[in-house]
Structure 1
Amino acid sequence: MVCEITKESKSPLLPDRFGQGDLFVCDIFDAVPKGDMASMAHPIFSLSTKPDHRIRRYEDEAGKNFVEVKPSAEGLATVHDRDVLIYCISQLIAAMNNGQTPSKTLRMKAYEFLKATNRVTDGRGYDGLRSALVRLQGTQIETNVVTGDTEQLDIFSIIDRARIVRQTRDGRMQEIEITLSDWVFNAIQAKEVLTFHRKYFRLRKPIERRIYELARKHCGSKSEWRISLPVLQRKCGSASTLREFRRLVANIVTHDQEHAHIPDYSVGMDEDMVIFTKRGTLNNADKPDTETSLIPTIIRLKPDTYTEARTVAPGWDIYHLEQEWRDWMADGGLDAPANPDKAFLGFCRKFFEKRGRP
């Protein structure tokens, strides 16, 4: 399903295969796509279209929270496999909004999932869904990241179980039963989720989907979000060289300028700074946006602070450290510090103590 763009005139988006008014056509309710913020904060899902067997570990700069992701023999779950989670989360959130009690185990029709996520409904679609379930169950996470006010210090799979409830005579799955992990379910119960644009499922490239997730989490309903290219690469989980990653992002920027295909946000570059600007398509009443935007861009550091920061963290790009500091606060949901200059210098000291010279 993921293909390269070979002609300048070709749309970067996949075709809208069904043109449906509502994203999901469920048995009981219609749902809009939702993504959990816990997995949006870290590059849990692989960008590769080939089996990815890398072990990943991510820590915040304070060394307080960590996430380690381990693949199975089938490789890490991919960004496209995440569609299964988005579908499940969307149904459960819609049920909660209708006054129903959510359950970790839910049943879905394979055809409705394929249709809702804009996938082909022939044999390729069903085979792809089966492979996604295998990778989701096989990918293991060890973390102490808090979801729903619960600190999860455990090793678990992204989904606990997937079972084919009903299939056709030729073996094609019809109904599937999925049991979500506590980590994902805690986030759902706490409504630590964000609404995704329906066009998300039409994005062709995994990296486009990942940068959209990051923009939704960090930019939210703010007018603009800036991030340095090296930090964006780390947050995407890209295994490319910085030079290659710069080329990939530059291509996305070019296509977005031509087609405006990235949902909700336009994407631009100013040297090695990537800039996301809100298009005005978001619902500003989306509550989690206000909860994940507690570190406003209006924080301004004094010029002397940058000079002192170069002393406490010699050799490092101070503006890169500033972006790391702002991202660290945003990821932790921290309020703006009473003394930003003092807080930033403290961050730089700890960063240098941990990393040393570049």
Structure 2
Amino acid sequence: MVTENTNALPALLPDRHPQHDLFICDVADAALKDVMQHMEHPFYSLSKKPETRVKRYRNGDNWLEITPSVKGLATIYDKDILIYCISQIMAKVKRGEMVSPRVRINSHELLIFTNRGTSGREYLALLDALDRLEGTRIRTNITTGDEEQIDGFGLIDASSIRRKQGLDGRLLWCEVKLSDWVFNAIRNEEVLTLHRDYFRLRKPLERRVYELARKHCGQQKIWRISLAKLLLKTGSQSPEKRFRQMIRLLAANDHLPDYQVDYDEETDVVIFTNRGTMAPALPGGSHVPPLKAETYALARDVAPGWDVYHLEREWRDWIVEAPRDADSAFVGFCRKWFEKRGQP
């Protein structure tokens, strides 16, 4: 009825604080893409209630197992802390500063950055989130030939906290050490840009759907996916009938950042259309400015033996968004190229 729509909450949360561009390490793809290239299962809980059971997913012969802490599996809201940390690291990288997996978090800045309130309850929620991130463990198998390797890792390795006036005092700051898994993904530039309204999405499922659209549709004009496949990728525990209703509502409200959502009733397919709100992709790197002459000399120093003009072509074909400092970005690319491949 019309009265029901009139009384409904706005689709997006209010914009409580101004925010800058956001960066997210696409951890689900970055860490495991060389292991399970088609692995699409979620790492974070979409439930607001603690999930304390072990989750196990299988994709062919490969498997993924997520073990929560006693406080539950890390949630998609806990992921905000990682987004904040990665954004800080990316800002330093762009300024040419040294970075490390240890990140100092100003608690007040974090709450503002993630569009949250700044009440005492919000500070306490950060402590529980840190516990879940630190306690959640991920294990997966890698098959190489006839030998199986089992690797385990976490989201953050450690955290330290400072309060004002004892345990009941306000949380001042904390420091987290990102796991090698996450930090290596950042160093390998497996980073996606998020729309600032990501933190204004009310529902966990909306955040997860946006992440999938950002990853799979990206800069393309359209991405289509069956409703059943989308349900699987989100990790939602809702039955398909209820999930279909939620997607219909998402399409009707039309509030997902960067992408318009449509649902085709006849084919049971969800269609994402790029709104054109992101920075345009670079066709063949044509929008990257010419490099300085001294940049090629630096590239030869960090990638000895390689043809720097060949590396430049590789870099321009690979790059997605124009870097703020093209010369530094190219030298960094050459350094990573040599670290991975050595002498030609």
| Superposition TM-score, scaled by structure 1 size | 0.69
Q: 2:68 & 2:6 partners in 1: Cα distance?
A: 35
Code of the aligned partner of 2:192? L
| 2:239 equivalent in structure 1 | 241
| 2:259 equivalent in structure 1 | 265
Deviations 1:309-349 (CA, angstroms, capped at 9, x unpaired): xxxxxxxxxxxxxxxxxxxxxxxxxxxxxxxxxxxxxxxxx
Cα distance change on mapping 1:292 and 1:129 into 2, 3 Å: farther
Q: 2:242 & 2:233 partners in 1: Cα distance?
A: 16
| 1:90 equivalent in structure 2 | 87
| 1:33 equivalent in structure 2 | 22
Q: 1:6 & 1:86 partners in 2: Cα distance?
A: 33
**Consecutive unaligned residues in structure 1, runs of 5 or more:** 24-31, 146-151, 294-358
| Counterpart contact for 1:168–1:174, Cα < 8 Å | no
| Counterpart contact for 2:41–2:232, Cα < 8 Å | no
| Counterpart contact for 1:16–1:118, Cα < 8 Å | yes
Code of the aligned partner of 1:102? V
| 2:341 equivalent in structure 1 | none
Q: 2:73 & 2:225 partners in 1: Cα distance?
A: 26
| Counterpart contact for 1:217–1:292, Cα < 8 Å | no
Code of the aligned partner of 2:271? I
The alignment yields a C-alpha RMSD, in angstroms, of 2.7
Code of the aligned partner of 2:236? S
Cα distance change on mapping 1:204 and 1:141 into 2, 3 Å: same
| 1:72 equivalent in structure 2 | 69
Cα distance change on mapping 1:102 and 1:7 into 2, 3 Å: farther
Cα distance change on mapping 1:89 and 1:176 into 2, 3 Å: same
2:118 is aligned with 1:137: no
Q: 2:90 & 2:97 partners in 1: Cα distance?
A: 9
- What is the CA distance between 1:193 and its match in structure 2? 1.1
| 2:225 equivalent in structure 1 | 227
| 2:59 equivalent in structure 1 | 60
Structure number with greater Rg is 2
Deviations 1:30-73 (CA, angstroms, capped at 9, x unpaired): xx322222326531001101011232223334x3x432211111
Deviations 1:109-162 (CA, angstroms, capped at 9, x unpaired): 0000000000110112101111111111111101358xxxxxx95222211111
**Consecutive unaligned residues in structure 2, runs of 5 or more:** 30-39, 143-148, 286-314, 321-344
Code of the aligned partner of 1:39? A
Code of the aligned partner of 2:27? A
| Superposition TM-score, scaled by structure 2 size | 0.72
Q: 1:162 & 1:247 partners in 2: Cα distance?
A: 40
SS of equivalent residue, structure 1 residue 268: strand
Q: 2:182 & 2:126 partners in 1: Cα distance?
A: 19
Report the number of matched residues: 268
- What is the CA distance between 1:292 and its match in structure 2? 11
| Counterpart contact for 2:57–2:63, Cα < 8 Å | yes
Q: 2:154 & 2:133 partners in 1: Cα distance?
A: 7
Deviations 1:153-178 (CA, angstroms, capped at 9, x unpaired): 52222111111035355422111100
| 1:203 equivalent in structure 2 | 201
Q: 1:46 & 1:227 partners in 2: Cα distance?
A: 22
Cα distance change on mapping 1:291 and 1:59 into 2, 3 Å: farther
Structure 2 residue corresponding to 1:280, chosen from 263, 276, 281: 276
| Counterpart contact for 1:212–1:263, Cα < 8 Å | yes
SS of equivalent residue, structure 2 residue 130: helix
Structure 1 residue corresponding to 2:212, chosen from 207, 211, 214: 214
- What is the CA distance between 1:7 and its match in structure 2? 5.0
Q: 2:319 & 2:165 partners in 1: Cα distance?
A: 44
2:40 is aligned with 1:51: no
SS of equivalent residue, structure 1 residue 176: strand
Q: 1:162 & 1:177 partners in 2: Cα distance?
A: 5
